[in-house]
Chains A and B, each alone.
Chain A
Amino acid sequence: MDKMPKWADIVLIPLISLLLAAFFSALVILAIGENPIEALKLMIDGALMRSAGWGYTLYYATNFIFTGLAVSVAFHARLFNIGGEGQAMLGGLGVALVCLYIPWPHWSLSILGASVGAALFGALWALIPAYLQAKRGSHIVITTIMFNFIAAALLNYVLVEMLRPVGAMDPASAKFPDATHLPSFQDMFSTAETPMFRGAPANVTFFLALIACVVVWALIWRTRLGYEIRAFGQSETAAKYAGISPVRITVIAMLISGALAGMMSVNTTMGESERLILNSTEGAGFIGIAVALMGRNHPFGVFLAAILFGFLYQGGAELALWTSIPRELIVVIQALVILFTGALDNMVRHPLEKLFIALRRRNA
């Protein structure tokens, strides 16, 4: 008998955690002398009430969906991939090379090419830590973190020494050709009379992220490989008994994870900046950990959590713009959400479990 119904686990716990995070955020905002209700209004207004706000929210959410899925897939194999950030950076390099050096006739082809490039580079960046974990037992958490730093340094070098156009001052690649321009939501949904999503960076990659959700869901719960990944994640000894190779699953799960993290760069590098810049990932690789935790490693949960974090990002930017609440405080609020939905999960879970058991006993 499970301790509590599934809906409580999936819906109630994140909701309560979220309310707790909101409560403590409100206290913090009060403490610096601002009105939390006003702040919330401003955030909702800026992120959700106008189409342009949604355009930003969904743009961020797209990043978080990819990195959240990346963490989830690895986590199903009990691998904690903290290297999403670095894998996404390298994914960006893959996108840039594909866009710069292959003459694409149309964006619909270039997005496929760029996705392959991003996935390939992201996956390869995850391969080395995966191999070290599988063959040498080097802990994946340590190696993937270190690979984030290596990725940042590598990208810096490549941009400054190799991809920077002659005479340019900033460490960035040349602008991608026009044929690789991805339709933004503004291009897609605006009519002559009513402009929509004006100026917002959300673009067609969002739908690619939705497809990734479905594919990951099918992979994990409907395929042999997903079965093996979950089995290995639950019990390595049992996996060995069944003839599932730990080395193989570790490497494959990390390759998929790295590929998903890398694909985030299609959104940022191709969809938004249209050239490769330093730090285009902006910490989305790390946010992916929180998104996966909150989304219970399920693609649908990841999707919802990604929207929430997209809202926090965009709403936070609005706050910084219109109030005296500093940008740093937004990070505090985001941290509180991560803290309550992820790290302090058990704080909410245990009392709730007790409650449900007590309720059940009364009914029995």
Chain B
Amino acid sequence: MTDADTGRGAAPSPAPDHRAAARRRHARSIAGTLLSLALTMLGLLLVTFIIGRVMPIDPVLKVVGDRATQAQYDAAYQAMGLDRPLVVQFIRYLGEVLTGDFGRSISTGQLVVDDIRRVFPATVELATLGTLIGVAIGVPLGVIAAARRGGAIDQVARVVALVGYSMPIFWLGLMGLLVFYGILGWVGGPGRQGIIYDGMVPTVTGLILVDSLIAGDWGAFRDAFSHIILPASLLGYFSLAYISRMTRSFMLEQLSAEYITTARVKGLSERAVIWRHAFRNIQIPLITVIALSFGSLLEGSVLTEIIFSWPGLGQYITKALLSGDMNAVLGGTVVVGTCFVLLNLLSDILYRVLDPRSK
């Protein structure tokens, strides 16, 4: 019998140099995370840069127009730096992006940064509310479905998720508008606000729900809420379908683990076994699922935004793409890509916060 195994001879607290080593390890892992973050961003910008160069759209022609002379064309060509080597162009592009300069949008005639500042909060507001709905319903549904595997709730959850996956969102959106706006009149119609309230709330965050609360304008809040609730529920339903299935499979994996049997033998109630023991252990993978689903709502709700005339990023990028407005497309893509990178970083940080073993 060794001391190390019985612990009788082991020191009760780690020696100071162990703690210093742990701190160093910690610092190194943060530095590593930041480095990989920087590399990911560089890769993202490289990809958008290359896309901008290989697109069969002549950026010079877009600026000078069809009727420009060859001399005008060449002058613009040089002014845009397109005669320089690609590496130089890329470095210049990096510099521009880092200072927040994405150029001017051809279709709106405004700086792309300003456009994005206007449309992105609309998308964030919609995606956030959608994800909140998806999490608030999807997670408990998945947990209960796993706990009552094969039972009625499990079957209902399966059908709900299957419908969520397979129904085209534009159809559900149109039906929702027809029923809840057209027939029942329960919700506001397309757009973010009714005409009366349009532009009435001073912009602080760009999120109208938040801004109207800051302004203390309950009428504007109710109006904005009645406009957002239908598209947000729709997006919430789609993320619910995914989140509830993932939650269920994570939970089934945990519930079959032997430490759950141990918890039952302790005499814990089934509720405590499920929520305190099993659910605590799936929080970490669940965070990744939720973060990715949030990210996909940030970029991918184009159809919803078009159906509900929601002035968001998805609609902005799509319109820009259709009119060959590359500055706007690249700017929007960089924003969406950055969001994904940041969400991944956030879920990494939450991993550490939620895992007691990392303390």
- Tell whether A and B belong to one assembly: no
